[in-house]
């Protein structure tokens, strides 16, 4: 009887414990605004850098508008997923594509960023005085 009671209690509580509380935002959190360079890439390399602001992304995927941002709690802090609306290729002038961008804080001045968990790459903040940062 105790075994059955224990199994019933676990079954009732397990789905509630496994659910994540996703919070929706209309923009990228201010802590992530700025210019970011992947790994050891120089902040002067304009082809590799990413510039984030409240409602915009500029980087390898193009110049995109931020539609929404989802925040999910994680074991090492919040994990964010931004839904971006990017212009299509030259042949698709009117069509746009949706791009996902995931990011989370690593250390001070660093974050992991990419289109999916499998492709997260370390990025570091560029100083405000770098040529790429001045173009924001």
- Give residue limits of the domains in the chain: 21-134
Q: Rounded to an integer, what distance in angstroms lies between the CA atom of residue 93 and that of residue 24?
A: 30
Phi, psi of 92 (to 5 degrees): -120, 60
Q: Which of 119, 107, 135 is nearest to 49 (CA)?
A: 135
| Structure tokens given for 49 | 């850098």
Q: Rounded to an integer, what distance in angstroms lies between the CA atom of residue 26 and that of residue 66?
A: 8
Quote the pLDDT of residue 109: 86
Quote the pLDDT of residue 32: 94
Q: Rounded to an integer, what distance in angstroms lies between the CA atom of residue 106 and that of residue 10?
A: 34
| pLDDT by 10-residue block (mean), the chain, 136 residues | 60 56 92 92 88 94 93 91 85 74 89 91 83 46
């Amino acid at each position: 009887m105790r075994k059955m009671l224990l199994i019933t209690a676990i079954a009732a509580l397990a789905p509630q414990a496994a659910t994540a509380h996703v919070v929706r935002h209309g923009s990228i959190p201010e802590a992530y605004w700025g210019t970011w360079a992947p790994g050891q890439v120089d902040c002067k390399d304009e082809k590799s850098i990413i510039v984030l602001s409240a409602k915009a992304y500029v980087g390898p995927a193009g110049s995109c508008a931020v539609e929404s941002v989802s925040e999910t709690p994680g074991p090492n802090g919040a994990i964010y997923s931004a839904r971006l609306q990017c212009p299509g290729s030259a042949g698709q002038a009117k069509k746009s594509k949706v791009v996902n961008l995931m990011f989370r804080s690593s250390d001070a001045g660093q974050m992991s960023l990419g289109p999916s968990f499998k492709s997260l790459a370390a990025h570091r903040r560029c100083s405000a005085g770098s040529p790429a940062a001045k173009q924001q």
